[in-house]
């Protein structure tokens, strides 16, 4: 039994896949005992092994479209790999399969049943031998001859051949469904030529604004949640789930993060604790956080809170866990139903009851911005933190509420050690034996970072001088780490006060003109530098030509700025990831989208950036993935 089944999860397609793959191992045990006694069993084992390989290879291909080839390989090798319990990954896999998901699940379930039949019948061979021959005769030639005949007879009577044929047909059906899914993905129209593109773009940009608003407020709340430590580190997983509740109209944004405080006594950050935060706020808070509610609105809200308390008391036997929401529609940063990694940003509609039981929860839960220091509360739980347990709020009295609970790490690695993208790129550049990223993996990361710019620009979450140092991954070492789950490194505390609050991008741009006269938008410049480093798999500093290494005698700064180096390198990126990728980098570098605008808070620029950068990177990602995953 896999770790997923033991935990009691409702089995989706992903857990069923690993359960079936591991079941093959159980089926092989009886054959290993008897295959030398009967050639029929040895041949049957070889044929069964072929079906096992076909099934695992198909699983590998499907998983690689969501993660990467190395992670998919590790998942199939380790039944308790954390990605098998990643609900977000299972959800994205279900979306990738679409209507074929139910059929795939049924086929895999039938496969498990057939494997169970084979295991049961082959295990029964031992009982047949035990009751047919005395123990005193074990081992002699006559015994082996009689055993061989008995096994041959039992094998012919067991209908194992028919079961194997059924398994072969099921494998073929599974492969057919997977192939059809890929063909349907390939048949999707290009996003720019689609007549539905503008509405989808507007919707995606609006969702980014919601995430941006929620993240800025959450950052402020996090800084007030602990009073005993001056500095904290939060690694925010990019592409947070965004859930819209249409009734009573409260947007909700979910953030997953690794949270830790910095100690003056310890040179490195302490081991992080994995938490999730559901941020909810009223629609009128978006336009004007200080706007007061009408009397009728206030009375309705009070009524909802009272009803929430009543519902909570009726179901107070255990701590609430995040409820499963009913999916209605999906909004992604890609405008096509890509089979590759998704933005993970989904929009759903739930009933008012779901909202009440989920987010207007027990008023007894503490507000860490007012009482019960958050870090002290974490110390009470110790290293074994409960999963999906509400522990309080990061703010609950104002228009913004941030409900916090423990959540397992949503990452492809179980390690809590983090490495920056800059470290990983440096390792690839200096170590010829380090793993190199495939093109589609780099394009996927580029798309994820472009989406993050829309979500976090001009907030304390994203520095205007951000670089690859601010993007981190979890793993065991920099030479073999997977780049499937990027996190944004965010500092909390006094050292972060110099970064602008929300809606101050214009001030940031003005300050940037003084320090970096060539840079039109600092956030897009940072993105373009990272895109260059991903394409060349080398730090920008190593791409300087000899003449660009000259320094000023008085200031000792490079005479050629990073912008000038990036501008030169960007003109020769076509050989790395293609001319279209180079065009995207050039647009970001010069903030040149034909809008005559450089402030990313402008709605028009946001829409064009989403279309020309996020969607274009998604299109390139899909194209390279089809080529490389089919190889």
- pLDDT tens for 26-48 read 777 766 665 555 566 677 778 88
The pLDDT score that the predictor gives to residue 370 is 84
According to the model, what pLDDT value does residue 236 have?
A: 92
As a whole number, the mean pLDDT across the chain is: 73
What whole-number distance in Å separates Cα of residue 498 and Cα of residue 463?
9
pLDDT beyond 50 at 182:
yes
With 50 as the cut, is the pLDDT of residue 145 above it? yes
Q: Are 164 and 27 in contact (CB under 8 A)?
A: no
Is residue 243 very low, low, confident or very high in pLDDT (cuts 50, 70, 90)? low
**Length of the chain (residues):** 631
d(CA 626, CA 631): 9
Per-residue confidence (pLDDT) for residue 507, from 0 to 100: 47
- Alpha-carbon distance of 474 to 416, in angstroms, equals 6
Asked if pLDDT for residue 595 goes beyond 70, the answer is yes
Q: Does residue 401 have a pLDDT over 60?
A: yes
Q: How confident is the model at residue 125 (pLDDT cuts 50, 70, 90)?
A: low
Give 65 or 621, the one with higher predicted confidence.
Answer: 621
Residue partners of 417: CB distance under 8 A and separation at least 6: 474, 475, 476
Q: How far is CA 329 from CA 100, 206, 255, 577, in A?
A: 18, 15, 20, 33
pLDDT at 146: 58
For the stretch 422-463, pLDDT in tens is 999 999 899 877 778 888 999 999 999 999 999 999 999 999
76-85, 238-247, 306-315, 521-530: the lowest-pLDDT one = 306-315
Confidence of residue 587 (pLDDT cuts 50, 70, 90): very high
pTM over 0.85: no
Q: Residues of 554-593 as b/e, b for ≥16 C-beta within 10 angstroms? A: eeeebebebbebbbebbeebeebbbeebbbbbbbbbbbeb
Number of CB atoms found within 10 A of residue 265's CB: 4
- Give the rounded percent of residues in the chain with a pLDDT score beyond 70: 64
pLDDT winner (highest mean) among 133-142, 146-155, 496-505, 507-516:
146-155
Alpha-carbon distance of 402 to 166, in angstroms, equals: 52
CA nearest 532: which of 468, 600, 453, 478?
A: 468
Q: Residue 468: pLDDT band by 50, 70, 90 thresholds?
A: very high
Q: Give the pLDDT score at 289.
A: 38
> What is the CATH architecture assignment of 418-629?
Orthogonal Bundle (1.10)
**Cis-peptide, bond into residue 302, ω within 30° of zero:** no
Identify the pLDDT of residue 343.
41
Looking from the CA of 206 toward its CB, the CA atoms found within 13 Å total 14
pLDDT of residue 489: 93
Owner of token pair 């609006």: 206
Give yes or no for residue 613 having a pLDDT over 90.
yes
pLDDT at 324: 38
Q: What per-residue string of b and e applies to 4-24 under the rule 16 or more CB within 10 Å gives b? A: beeeebebbbbbbbbbbbebb
Number of H helices, E strands in the chain: 22, 9
Instruction: For residue range 88-120, list pLDDT tens digits in order.
Output: 677 777 777 777 778 888 888 898 888 888 887
What is the per-residue pLDDT for 466? 96
Q: Is 32 left (phi over 0), alpha (psi -120 to 50) or beta?
A: alpha
Half-sphere exposure of 322 (CA within 13 A, CB side): 22
Label residue 244 by pLDDT band (50, 70, 90). Answer: low
Q: Is the pLDDT of residue 156 over 60?
A: no
| Choice between 187 and 419, residue whose per-residue pLDDT is larger | 419
Q: Is the pLDDT of residue 608 over 90?
A: yes
Question: Has residue 384 got a pLDDT over 60?
Answer: yes
Within 544-578, where are the H helices?
A: 562-570, 574-577
Query: What is the reported pLDDT for 319?
Result: 38
Domain ranges of the chain: 3-186, 197-406, 418-629
């Amino acid at each position: 039994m896999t770790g997923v089944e033991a935990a009691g999860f409702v089995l989706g397609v992903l857990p069923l896949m690993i359960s079936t793959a591991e079941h093959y191992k159980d089926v092989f045990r009886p054959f290993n005992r008897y295959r030398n006694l009967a050639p029929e069993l040895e041949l049957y084992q070889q044929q069964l092994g072929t079906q096992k390989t076909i099934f695992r290879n198909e699983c590998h291909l499907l998983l690689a479209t969501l993660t990467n080839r190395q992670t998919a390989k590790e998942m199939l090798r380790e039944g308790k790999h954390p990605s098998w319990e990643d609900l977000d990954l299972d959800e994205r896999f279900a979306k990738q399969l679409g209507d074929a998901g139910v059929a795939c699940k049924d086929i895999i379930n039938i496969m498990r049943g057939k494997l169970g039949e084979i295991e049961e019948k082959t295990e029964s061979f031992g009982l047949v031998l035990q009751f047919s021959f005395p123990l005193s005769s074990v081992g002699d030639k006559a015994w082996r001859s009689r055993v061989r005949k008995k096994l041959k007879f039992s094998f012919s009577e067991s209908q194992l051949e028919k079961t194997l044929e059924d398994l072969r047909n099921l494998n073929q059906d599974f492969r057919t469904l997977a192939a059809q899914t890929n063909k349907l993905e390939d048949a999707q129209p290009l996003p720019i030529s689609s007549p539905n593109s503008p509405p989808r773009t507007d919707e995606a940009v609006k969702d980014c604004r919601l995430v941006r608003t929620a993240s800025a407020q959450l950052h402020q709340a996090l800084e007030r949640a602990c009073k005993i430590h001056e500095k904290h580190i939060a690694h925010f997983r990019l592409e947070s789930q965004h859930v819209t509740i249409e009734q009573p109209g409260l947007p909700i944004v979910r953030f997953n993060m690794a949270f830790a405080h910095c100690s003056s006594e310890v040179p490195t950050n302490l081991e992080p604790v994995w938490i999730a935060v559901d941020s909810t706020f009223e629609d009128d808070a978006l336009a004007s956080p200080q706007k007061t509610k009408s009397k009728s609105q206030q009375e309705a809200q009070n009524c909802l809170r009272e009803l929430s308390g009543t519902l909570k008391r009726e179901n107070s036997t255990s701590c609430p866990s995040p409820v499963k929401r009913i999916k209605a529609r999906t909004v992604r940063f890609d405008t096509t139903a890509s089979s590759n990694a998704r933005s993970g940003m989904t929009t759903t509609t739930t009933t008012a009851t779901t909202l009440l039981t989920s987010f207007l929860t027990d008023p007894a839960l503490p507000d860490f911005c007012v009482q019960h220091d958050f870090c002290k509360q974490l110390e009470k739980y110790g290293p074994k933190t409960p999963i999906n347990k509400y522990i309080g709020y990061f703010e609950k009295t104002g228009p913004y509420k941030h409900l916090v609970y423990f959540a397992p790490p949503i990452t492809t690695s179980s390690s809590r050690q983090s490495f920056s993208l800059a470290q990983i790129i440096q390792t690839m550049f200096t170590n010829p034996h380090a793993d190199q990223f495939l093109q589609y993996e780099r394009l996927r990361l580029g798309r994820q970072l472009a989406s993050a710019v829309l979500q976090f620009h001009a907030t304390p979450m994203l520095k205007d001088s951000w670089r690859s140092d601010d993007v981190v991954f979890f793993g065991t070492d920099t030479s073999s780490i997977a780049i499937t789950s990027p996190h944004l490194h965010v500092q909390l505390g006094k050292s972060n006060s110099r970064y602008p609050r929300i809606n101050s991008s214009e001030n940031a741009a003005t300050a940037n003109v003084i320090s970096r006269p060539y840079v039109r938008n600092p956030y897009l410049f940072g993105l373009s530098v990272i895109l260059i480093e991903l394409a060349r798999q080398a730090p920008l500093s190593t791409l300087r030509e000899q003449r660009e290494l000259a320094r000023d005698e008085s200031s000792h700064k490079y005479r050629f700025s990073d912008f000038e180096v990036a501008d030169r390198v960007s003109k020769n990126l076509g050989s790395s990831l293609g001319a279209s990728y180079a065009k995207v980098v050039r647009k970001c570098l010069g903030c040149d989208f034909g809008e005559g605008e450089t402030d990313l808070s402008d709605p028009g620029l946001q829409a064009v950036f989403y279309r020309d950068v996020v969607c274009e990177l998604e299109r390139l990602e899909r194209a390279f993935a089809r080529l490389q995953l089919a190889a």
